[in-house]
């Protein structure tokens, strides 16, 4: 618990983001030692003079335990790089935030997530497409991720909720500072069927500079990103860029070549994004057709030590069944049987004849 307090405290230090914090931890050994770092250790972590001055000032004014108690009193959960519950999909991307503030709950099933984003100035066409996609993704067991903005984001969140599904909203402010204010009721509903998520500390007000960086979290939490409607300068295109950098599948909804609100999507398609004609395009390309079946299997079949042993020898690189037999000393029949069950659970994926990788 004390370590978590240091993570939260670091999140209040100007100038120390993911890269500099990782460097400090590498030099000092752990988060607590990093908070107590000497000036020599700060220099070894390549902190510049101004950042060192800000860090020293922060240590004089920030009480880590008080910050932790503040979060607890607000009913906010905090996930850090140290926590097993930190979303794996996000952990693997460059610039993953060291701290996430959560109002609501992030569940294991939220690993099957797709972002639905777009312009704040949505047309009736864009709103209807967002409503259909949000509802049909939710009905398929997919968690809908968006940014709580007016327009496309709002419609996607609401459609997922109305369909009885889960949705996560990533904010450009503290999770106690709802923006826009018109969506306070929606935010409260999301807390009940998903979560509000932010890298920004409690009390941080919405600021124009906060929104572009938060888009890397929207795409980072997702397996794929759908741009529903976007003008030439839409912020949704920033999310599209992050999606491409993170290796996420990018989908764009085609629109009229005469509509300014469709210029962004049509350009993305021209540049190689997958044109989205129905939710089936997403489910098939992301191999999500069996989500409900996979989730039910995870809930009904208890964890098996043999599965864990097999999983330990699987990575994101393809491995042949024969190699797994040799590595685990199991029989071919045992390995094949376990792999079939693990594929049903969504733990592994077959990518060739008798060849598997970790999902």
Tell me how far apart the alpha carbons of residues 18 and 10 are, in angstroms, rounded to a whole number: 10
Residue length of the chain: 359
pLDDT averaged over 10-residue windows placed end to end, the chain, 359 residues:
89 94 96 96 96 96 94 94 92 93 94 95 96 96 97 97 97 96 97 96 94 96 96 90 95 94 94 95 86 57 74 83 91 89 80 80
Tell me how far apart the alpha carbons of residues 257 and 16 are, in angstroms, rounded to a whole number: 44
Residue 134 lies in a domain: yes
Q: What is the pLDDT of residues 319-335, one digit of tens each?
A: 999 999 999 889 999 99
Half-sphere exposure of 344 toward its Cβ, with a 13 Å CA cutoff? 14
* 242 phi/psi in degrees, rounded to 5: -60, -40
Tell me how far apart the alpha carbons of residues 334 and 353 are, in angstroms, rounded to a whole number: 17
- Examine the domain organization and report whether 216 and 268 are in the same domain: yes
- Examine the domain organization and report whether 115 and 16 are in the same domain: no
- Examine the domain organization and report whether 29 and 140 are in the same domain: no
Residue 94 lies in a domain: no
Give the end of a domain, one of 251, 285, 319.
Answer: 285
- Of 326, 314, 318, the closest CA to residue 354 belongs to 318
Q: Are 107 and 166 in contact (CB under 8 A)?
A: yes
Give the end of a domain, one of 72, 96, 119.
Answer: 72
CA distances from 91 to 119, 170, 192 (A): 27, 16, 25
Half-sphere exposure of 346 toward its Cβ, with a 13 Å CA cutoff? 19
Tell me how far apart the alpha carbons of residues 247 and 234 are, in angstroms, rounded to a whole number: 21
Joined tokens for residue 313: 């020898």
Q: Give the bridge partners for 251, in sequence order.
A: 226, 274
Q: What pLDDT sits at residue 302? A: 47
Our CA angle for 217, 153, 186, nearest 5°, is 100
Sequence-ordered list of residues with C-beta below 8 angstroms from that of 189, at least 6 positions apart, any chain: 161
Q: Are 108 and 298 in contact (CB under 8 A)?
A: yes
Residue 336 lies in a domain: yes
Secondary structure (3-state) at 203? coil
Residue 204 lies in a domain: yes
**Which CATH number characterizes residue 309's domain?**
1.10.10.10
- Examine the domain organization and report whether 146 and 184 are in the same domain: yes
- Examine the domain organization and report whether 148 and 265 are in the same domain: yes
Our CA angle for 285, 136, 176, nearest 5°, is 100
The C-alpha torsion from 41 through 45 and 49 to 51, rounded to 10°, is -110
- Of 11, 18, 20, the closest CA to residue 71 belongs to 11
DSSP type of residue 156: H
Q: What pLDDT sits at residue 33? A: 96
Residue 338 lies in a domain: yes
Residues spanned by the domain of 351:
301-358
Give the end of a domain, one of 55, 72, 89.
Answer: 72
Residue 263 lies in a domain: yes
Residue 85 lies in a domain: no
Residue 180, preceding peptide bond in cis (omega within 30° of 0):
yes
- Examine the domain organization and report whether 116 and 206 are in the same domain: yes
Residue 291 lies in a domain: no
Q: How many domains does one find in the chain?
A: 3
- Examine the domain organization and report whether 221 and 345 are in the same domain: no
Secondary structure (3-state) at 194? strand
- Examine the domain organization and report whether 119 and 64 are in the same domain: no
Q: Give the bridge partners for 168, in sequence order.
A: 145, 195
Tell me how far apart the alpha carbons of residues 104 and 5 are, in angstroms, rounded to a whole number: 20
Q: Are 120 and 261 in contact (CB under 8 A)?
A: no
- Examine the domain organization and report whether 266 and 319 are in the same domain: no
- Examine the domain organization and report whether 56 and 157 are in the same domain: no
Q: What pLDDT sits at residue 340? A: 85
- Examine the domain organization and report whether 19 and 124 are in the same domain: no
- Examine the domain organization and report whether 269 and 121 are in the same domain: yes
């Amino acid at each position: 618990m004390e370590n978590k307090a240091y993570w939260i405290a670091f999140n209040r230090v100007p100038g120390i983001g993911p890269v500099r914090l990782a460097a400090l931890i590498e030099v000092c050994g752990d988060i607590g030692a990093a908070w107590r770092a000497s000036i020599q250790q700060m220099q070894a972590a390549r902190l510049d003079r101004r950042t060192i001055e800000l860090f020293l000032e922060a240590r004089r004014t920030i009480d880590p335990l008080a910050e932790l108690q503040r979060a607890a009193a607000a009913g906010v959960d905090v996930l850090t790089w140290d926590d097993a519950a930190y979303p794996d999909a996000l952990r693997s991307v460059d610039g993953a935030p060291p701290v996430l503030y959560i109002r609501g709950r992030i569940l294991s099933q939220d690993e099957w997530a797709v972002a639905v984003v777009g312009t704040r100035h949505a047309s009736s066409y864009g709103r209807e497409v967002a409503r259909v996609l949000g509802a049909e993704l939710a009905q398929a067991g997919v968690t809908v991720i968006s940014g709580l903005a007016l327009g496309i984001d709002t419609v996607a969140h609401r459609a997922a909720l109305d369909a009885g599904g889960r949705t996560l909203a990533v904010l450009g402010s503290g999770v106690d500072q709802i923006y826009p204010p018109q969506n306070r009721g929606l935010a409260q509903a999301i807390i009940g069927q998903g979560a509000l998520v932010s890298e920004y500390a409690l009390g941080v007000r919405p600021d124009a500079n906060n929104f572009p960086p938060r888009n890397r979290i929207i795409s980072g939490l997702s397996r794929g990103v759908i741009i529903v409607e976007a003008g030439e300068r839409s912020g949704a295109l920033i999310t599209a860029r992050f999606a491409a950098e993170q290796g996420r599948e990018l989908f764009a909804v085609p629109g009229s070549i005469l509509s300014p609100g469709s210029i962004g999507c049509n350009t993305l398609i021209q540049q190689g994004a997958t044109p989205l004609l129905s939710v089936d395009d997403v489910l098939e390309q992301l191999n999500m057709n069996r989500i409900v079946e996979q989730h039910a299997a995870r809930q009904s079949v208890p964890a098996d030590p043999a599965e864990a042993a097999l999983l330990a020898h699987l990575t994101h690189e393809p491995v042949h069944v024969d190699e797994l037999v040799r590595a685990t000393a199991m029989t071919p029949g045992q390995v094949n049987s376990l792999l079939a069950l693990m594929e049903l659970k969504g733990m592994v994926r077959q990518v060739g004849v008798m060849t598997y990788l970790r999902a």
